[in-house]
Amino acid sequence: MALVLIRYSEIGLKSRYVRRKFEELLIADIKKALSYYGIKNKIKRTWGRIFIELSDFEKAIEPLKNVFGIVSFSPVIETEANLDEIERDAAEYAKIGSNETFAIRARRTGQHDFTSQDVAIRAGRAVENAMHARVNLTNPDKEIFIEVRDDKAFIFSEKIKGAGGMPYGSQGKVVGIVENEEDMLASWLMMRRGCIVEFACTGKMEQKIRERAMWRDVKIHFIEEEKHKFAEKLAARTGAKAIVVGGETFKKMELPVFYPLLGFQEVKK
């Protein structure tokens, strides 16, 4: 089983109660994503971090990259939070050529009888001796990260970028009018901000919506009348608080209309 460390950002700015709720939503979406792709997993939550044991890390990369709320994630090795074991495992973990340079980036959370600098110095010396590589803290060829959290330490060298944003379902509900790719991107951006989207679409966009939604249970409604009226009726029926569109400017409506693509110089299709 591979162990993966999950990072998030905006959730950490919330109060303890809200943070816990958002973490629960994020974990639920992670479980859905991994189950959708048939990946066995076991999730553990600590303060400020989520850890996942995975049956197949390579297969999990794409779904994890598309979970809203994940800023980045890393495959890690776990060891005990003492300098001797950190030193030993860092030296075994490092894959650095003798003509390459490296840097150790260490951080701690919790109470320990050593500092982050102690971790970096001891681990750096061990890697240097084992690999015959040189230290370069300014512009290294490779970086090794060591994160000490209470009684455990985690060693990794790779940070894979996630979708960012907020956990899906953490914000309100909106109606997304989707007639083209720009509209679809606008609704996707609102999903990324945590909104649940009720899709009002033309038939040609149904498949595109399902592709973008991936494992998420989305509701698709086909536009049956003038789209402005249809969107307002759909919002009233579903409890949505706003309408989302891509590039088209709407006439005055009862509900707020969001234009997430405003400010983008070019929309990729």
In CATH, which superfamily holds the domain spanning 173-258? HUPs (3.40.50.620)
CATH 3.30.70.1510 domain locations along the chain = 2-78
Per-residue pLDDT tens for 124-151?
999 999 999 999 999 999 999 999 999 9
CATH 3.30.2130.30 domain locations along the chain = 82-150
**Residue 37: burial class (beta carbons within 10 Å; 0-12, 13-18, 19+):** middle
pTM: 0.89
Q: Structure tokens of 34?
A: 């991994």
Q: Which residues make beta-bridge pairs with 159?
A: none
CA dihedral 50, 159, 186, 204 (to 10 degrees): -100
Q: Using DSSP bridges, classify how beta strands 173-178 and 196-201 pair: parallel, antiparallel or unpaired.
A: parallel
Task: Write down the residue that tokens 């189950």 correspond to.
Answer: 35
Cα 89 to Cα 160: distance, rounded to the nearest angstrom = 22
Residues 6+ apart with CB under 8 A from 52: 3, 4, 6, 30, 34, 41, 42, 43, 44, 60
Q: Tell me, what's the pLDDT at 12?
A: 58
Q: Tell me, what's the pLDDT at 269?
A: 46
Q: Structure tokens of 82?
A: 């003492």
Length of the chain: 269
What are the Cα distances from residue 138, in Å, to 73, 104, 128, 237?
23, 11, 16, 58
Residues 6+ apart with CB under 8 A from 39: 54, 55, 56, 59, 60, 63
3 state DSSP class of 218: coil
Q: Where are the beta strands (DSSP E) in the chain?
A: 2-7, 41-46, 49-54, 72-80, 101-109, 134-135, 142-149, 152-156, 160-161, 173-178, 196-201, 219-222, 243-244, 257-258
Per-residue pLDDT tens for 178-207?
999 999 999 999 999 999 999 999 889 999
* Domain 2-78, CATH: 3.30.70.1510
| Positions in the chain whose pLDDT score sits under 70 | 10-14, 250, 265-269
* Domain 82-150, CATH: 3.30.2130.30
Nearest to 160 by CA among 89, 58, 72: 72
CATH 3.40.50.620 domain locations along the chain = 173-258
**Residue 57: burial class (beta carbons within 10 Å; 0-12, 13-18, 19+):** middle
Q: Tell me, what's the pLDDT at 13?
A: 62
